[in-house]
Structure 1
């Protein structure tokens, strides 16, 4: 098992978390049981145990695996290293598009993107093929990829489907009491929105990330693979779109952040009807903003 593999690194970090719950001199369970506990394969577990032994975190002799010390922060792989190649490419591609003003007709070359992102050309190709079905990029036969234009009719269709999915997601979110995890996530979002608004002059560009996290928090309640897949397109258009006008961006983000907070406050207070009303207001505002604030091709 290669130690450059994100699956291995996630398993290694989970193993460290597991060791942190045990005392020094404790014995680890057999490999099969450990693989079940960490939800990974025996092959990966053996590689993890070898690394733990090399790092003097455990002593492995025969079937006996003894904990020598508690894991330290420096023992863990960084979060960025544990992401899969596809997740890494998706995030980097969004930032690549967001951080530039690439016009329709822009050429996208797999080899150049691979060097830019530090991933393999095959990972880039797989991502672009999946993303191309939305019609915003297209592969020219035996050549490069081309970034296509974005039209008002495309935006209207996108908004229609977005509202169907997200209204359903909010209904699901409101149908059950808030879990401890959901409440904590909403409180964290609230604090970050408050902080952005308090420092609006400098922090308003951070709203794209906040907007994505706010909507994804609701989408996750659906636990629907088709909605999750479609939401990748939503993320590009609504949160990272390369054709947003920069004029009035600060005010646009301020208004949207306040709309988010209205929904968050209502959800935290258990006022589901109020949350639905506030969310509908936000979706209608997002539709208007998309039509008026994008540089159409």
Structure 2
């Protein structure tokens, strides 16, 4: 399970790199790609074999070459690229935010383990993650109190997110230009521009792109507390945003443009510019979350839908 997720995650990452290359471009060597993807050469050989089987890459006298750009159908679904534990955490978050749960209700670890087909130990580990950010509270007899996503909760968690992300940008801009995170940023920027060009049809694909940009920044911190924090909040925020889709295309367009400004600031390596554009984007994201919470998953049809952007 773990190895399969690693392969699928590496395959998707390689596809994203190839999406920005010209047709006919040579692929890097096994060792170069293994270093870029931070996986073993065995995994890279499996990735190359699958690219060839899919008709994306061909083997010629001069080595491996790109013969077509990957399409959406070539990628593995995001859930399949996660580790077993991360997949459980994401499924749990989707279930609790899209289900009939309200603040004050109790969850039972043993029942959740049966529902998700995993061990109670795994469930408890991930419930503890949500406890650390204040979403759950542990109670006696293996039960957990769901405290709900409230405006006060959103304010507190965004204060921490801003602090962690600004710290991570300092690590990012210290990396050399040819490091994997900068190459990944090139691909992410190209995908932002492609999405903007097709925003009317593809605006709902933005959350995956949003997560990749912020994750590549957070992971350069090499700080497990920052990285673990982002694993939880990215899942939480993206499911909460779904509570209000009345202005989804508009807000995703705004976020895309703010991302491009943020990326430009990162390229400048100017801490002041980075600080200003990061804070501006996170203020917008905070407001989006607040509107989604106001809309809420349990709002009656006659209730107000919240403030438009």
TM-score (norm 1): 0.64
What is aligned with 1:191? 190
Residues 219 and 227 in structure 1, CA contact (< 8 A), matched pair in contact too: yes
Partner of 1:235: 234
Residue of structure 2 equivalent to 1:92: 91
User: For the aligned residues, what is the CA RMSD?
Assistant: 4.0
Residues 6 and 172 (structure 1), Cα distance of their counterparts in 2 relative to 1, 3 Å cut:
closer
Q: What does 1:267-286 correspond to in 2, within 5 Å?
A: 267-268=266-267, 273-286=272-285
Deviation of 1:272 after TM superposition, in Å, equals 5.6
User: Match for residue 292 of structure 1?
Assistant: 291
Q: Secondary structure at the match of 1:135?
A: coil
1:6 to 2, 8, 21: 2
Residue-by-residue CA offset, 1:265-288 (whole Å, 9 max, x unaligned)? 343465664443322221222233
Which residue of structure 1 lines up, in the alignment, with residue 251 of structure 2? 252
| Kept in 2: contact 1:101–1:243 (CA 8 A) | no
Q: Distance in 1 between matches of 2:5 and 2:258?
A: 39
Partner of 1:181: 180
CA apart distance, 1:72: 4.5
User: Which runs of 5 or more residues in structure 2 are unaligned?
Assistant: 11-28, 32-38, 42-47, 52-75, 297-309
Counterpart CA distance in 2 for 1:240 and 1:156 is 17
SS at match of 1:222: coil
Rate the CA distance shift 1:212–1:81 in 2: closer, same or farther, 3 A.
Answer: closer
CA contact (8 A) 2:138 2:145 kept: yes
- Assess if the C-alpha contact under 8 Å between 1:204 and 1:253 holds in 2: yes
Closer, same or farther in 2 for the Cα pair 1:8/1:241, shift >3 Å?
Answer: closer
CA shift in 2, pair 1:270/1:141, >3 Å? closer
* Residue equivalent to 1:134: 133
- Shift of residue 85 of structure 1? 2.6
Say if 1:151 and 1:296, in contact at 8 Å, map to a contact too: no
Q: Who is 1:164 aligned against?
A: 163
* Residues in 2 aligned to 1:277 and 1:295: alpha-carbon distance in whole angstroms: 27
Q: Which runs of 5+ in 1 are unaligned?
A: 15-19, 23-36, 40-70
Q: Give the TM-score, by structure 2 length.
A: 0.62
- Mapped partners of 2:191, 2:123: distance in 1: 32
Q: Tell me, in whole angstroms, the C-alpha distance in 2 between the residues paired with 1:9 and 1:152.
A: 35
Q: How does 1:17-32 map onto structure 2 within 5 Å?
A: none
User: 1:151 and 1:158 mapped to 2: Cα distance?
Assistant: 11
* Per-residue deviation, 1:291: 2.9
The 3-state SS of whatever aligns with 2:220 is helix
Whole-Å Cα distance in 2 between the matches of residues 21 and 215 of structure 1? 28
SS at match of 2:293: coil
Shift of residue 180 of structure 1? 3.5
